[in-house]
Amino acid sequence: VNEWTKRGPLEWQDYTYKEVRVTASEKDYKGWVLTTDPVSANIVLVNFLEDGSMSVTGIMGHAVQTVETVNEGDQGVREKLMHLFTSGDCQAHNLEDLEKRKNSLRKWLEKNHIPVTEQGDSPRTLCVAGVLTIDPPYGPENCSSSNEIILSRVQDLIQGHLAASP
**Residue 90: what pLDDT?**
42
Phi, psi of 29 (to 5 degrees): -130, 155
**Residue 19: what pLDDT?**
95
What's the whole-model pTM score? 0.52
pLDDT tens digits, one per residue of 40-70: 899 999 998 888 788 889 999 999 999 999 9
Low-confidence ranges of the chain (pLDDT < 70): 1, 85-94, 122, 165-166
CA distances (Å), origin 71, targets 20, 56, 76: 7, 18, 13
Rounded Cα distance between 27 and 19, Å, is 17
**Residue 138: what pLDDT?**
87
Rounded Cα distance between 134 and 157, Å, is 12
**Residue 143: what pLDDT?**
92
pLDDT tens digits, one per residue of 150-159: 899 899 888 8
